[in-house]
Structure 1
Amino acid sequence: MQLTSGFWSFKTFAAAVELGLFTRLADGRAVTLDEAAADLDIHPRAADMFLAACASLGLLEKDGGRYRNSPLAEEFLVEGRPHYFGGFVRFCDHREYPAWHRVVDAMRTNRPLTWDPATQDSVFAAEDPEMMELFWEAMHSISSFTAAALADAYDFKAHVRLLDVGGGSGAFPIELCTRYTHLSATVLDLPHVCELTQERIAAAGLDEVIDTVGGDFRADAALPRGYDVILLSMILHDWDEATGRDLLRKCRDALEPGGTIVICELLLNPERTGPAPAALMGMNMIVELEGGRNYSETEYLSWLSDAGFTQPRILRFDAAGANGAVIATK
């Protein structure tokens, strides 16, 4: 029953984000049922069941006849907060949820459903500006919290210059350079993505610390040099094994001697039987991408060794976008 009705929870959650419920209740505001119905412009009957459902999911708390944000919602679901997660919820609701209705078609054809490979170079192309804006908002949502978890788990004090390959909106460098003030960073991504990244960097007040380089890490013969740590966060699962192995070779060539590579992912176990978040993200790759899949920790360890890295090891932590990092040295 939990498996069957899982979409009830998601669509309740997505509706709350779409209506701006948690932002309306920011900073301890509490509302009655009638006030919520009026604020959200929904029918009182629906409001009664809707608020009860949100409370049952741990998103709201009820005190007497008033509802307020739970601590979880206050931290992650109020727009403008550092780790606002609503962007990812909206992305999944508007883009991925409709495509998942036809997941069997994707499995039979081995073709993504959220974009057309016949007319677009990749899922990251800029043909649909509105959807791309939603996509990068979603990636920033999930990456900012994951970056904080990585910063807690791995000590970047020994590093000076970070290259974030496919760094998107710059969430990881923004978090890491804020935490480790001696660190500078470069985000390598497609030119149209770098425009967005520069806006995020400026908003964080880190223009002097983080820069961007436009490029295509698949097509370019080499990566920028002069870095003692390279980050691949939620990148390798987007591509097939051959592309991943080639990128690791480029990373090793670009790194300074003694430098470190950090692969941050939802890692499958060696048997490829879980954990569920990693395995289900792999299912999402069927819907979203041509060659992507979630790989096991042992596969990454093998790839790194084959690429000439030494001392490959696993660092485990718990975050929205990753359950660990695979780390190795040049």
Structure 2
Amino acid sequence: MLTQDSMPPSAKAIETAEDLSSIAFGFMASKALFAGLHVDIFSALADGPKSAEELAGAADIPINRIVMLTTALASVGLLTIGDDKKVQNSPAAQSFLSKQTKYDFGDYLRYQIDQQMYPFLLQLNAVMKGDLSDDAIASYRHWMADEEQASVYSESQHAGSLGPGRTLARKVDLATASTLLDVGGGTGAMTISLCREYPNLQATIIDFPNVTEIGWRFISEADLVDRVRYIPGNAVEVQWPGNQDAILMSYLMSGVPGDNVEELVHKAFDALAPGGKLMVHDFMVEEDRRGPALAALWQLQHMAFTPDAHSLSVGWLTQTGKRIGFDVDQVDNLIPAMTKLVVFSKPS
């Protein structure tokens, strides 16, 4: 449970040109990371250090480019270079960026962040001034209608959500729940984690048609076809099944226009059985709007393709839930310094 003492500290106001430069040039480090993932450097180093020549041969990349890339990656701490000039993964790269490891989420960074989220930020200047044309505003509704984009987004999001899904399953108590509605649940990473933790849970996932087709494969691979069903459609528009014991909205509210956020809370209240729980997992900033930085930056990212998005704060969300009739059961971190979990309950 979050308390005032456990809140993350606000970012210190920067004072030097060097501090300013580290922000202005930060995109170079992220693109170096994405390039490393693109040529699979971190997997090539999973079994131990290699020379630049060995890496060039393994990746089929000219030696000068490998030297430049590994030097850049070492300069930001993603790789280390020993006295013998051999290159090695950092502990984080070894654990999370190599395809040989259990908790690899490199594909999430490579496909969703680099190929989809990064380009959307190029729209931000136009969004701020209101100069972006209607056809350029790629909201989830239109974006997910594209089969190829839906596939890239959904499969990489699945990889990135498995870890948070396991954390969610540990943090909430659904022992008495028999039904779960996962609204905007994508390929079902969160649902899969909750169903594995609670064997009596039957789940329904609402998401766009292209996403449900991809998600069904993951549900089948998880051997949950007899416990999970999909309702294809826009979560804001389709009818939700009623009398649910639990409802989950993960990364949903930050990706819809602000006018829809309170509507989603209302719909959840109506769809829950008395005593049921609403779990909201999303990017949320503190009420003083001083951070956390990653939550604030992700909200800005979402605004680049949903110009009318609402900046969620814990205080605003909990007050909205109370006004609609919910009790607030729990406020907690889910992904440290990035996302929060708010659990509401509908009075019995």
Q: TM-score range by the shorter chain?
A: 0.7 to 0.9
CA–CA separation in structure 2 for the residues paired with 1:303 and 1:120: 24
| Equivalent position of 2:228 in the other structure | 210
Aligned to 1:149: 167
> What is the alpha-carbon distance in structure 2 between the residues aligned to residue 151 and residue 112 of structure 1?
41
TM-score normalized by the length of structure 2: 0.84
Query: What residue is the counterpart of 1:257 in the other structure?
Result: 274
Please provide the CA RMSD for this pair.
2.5
**Match status 1:47 vs 2:63:** no
* Larger mean Cα displacement after TM superposition, 76-85 or 257-266: 76-85
Report the Cα offset of residue 280 of structure 1: 0.9
Q: Which position in structure 2 is the counterpart of 1:231?
A: 248
Q: Distance in 1 between matches of 2:131 and 2:314?
A: 24
Q: Aligned residue pairs: how many? A: 324
The 3-state SS of whatever aligns with 2:304 is helix
Structure 2 stretches lacking a partner, 5+ long: 1-20
Q: How does 1:1-330 map to 2 (within 5 A)?
A: 1-26=21-46, 28-62=47-81, 64-79=84-99, 83-90=103-110, 91-109=112-130, 111=132, 116-117=136-137, 122-127=141-146, 129-220=147-238, 222-319=239-336, 322-330=338-346
Rounded to whole Å, the distance in 2 between the matches of 1:78 and 1:168 is 24
Q: Deviations over 1:125-180 (max 9, x none)?
A: 323x2222211123223322222222233333343322110100111011222233
- C-alpha change, 1:84 and 1:211, in structure 2 (3 Å) is farther
2: distance between equivalents of 1:223 and 1:244?
16
- Normalising by structure 1, we get a TM-score of 0.88
Q: SS at the partner of 1:152?
A: helix
Q: Check the 8 A contact 2:144/2:211 in 1, yes or no.
A: no
Q: Give percent identity, aligned residues only.
A: 27
Evaluate the alpha carbon distance shift between residue 43 and residue 121 of structure 1 in structure 2; reply closer, same or farther with a 3 A threshold.
closer
Q: 1:42 to 1:149 in 2, by over 3 A?
A: same
Which letter maps to 1:109? G
Per the alignment, do residues 70 and 207 of structure 1 end up closer, same or farther by CA in structure 2, a change over 3 Å counting?
farther
Q: Structure 2: how far apart are the matches of 1:97 and 1:214?
A: 28
Letter in 2 for 1:8: M
Residue by residue over 1:184-223, the C-alpha shift from the partner in whole angstroms, topping out at 9 and shown as x without a partner, is 3221112221111100111222223322222322112x31
SS at match of 1:47: helix
Q: 1:210 to 1:268 in 2, by over 3 A?
A: same
Q: CA deviation at 1:14?
A: 0.4
SS state at 1:247 partner = helix
What stretches of structure 1 of length at least 5 have no aligned partner? Answer: none
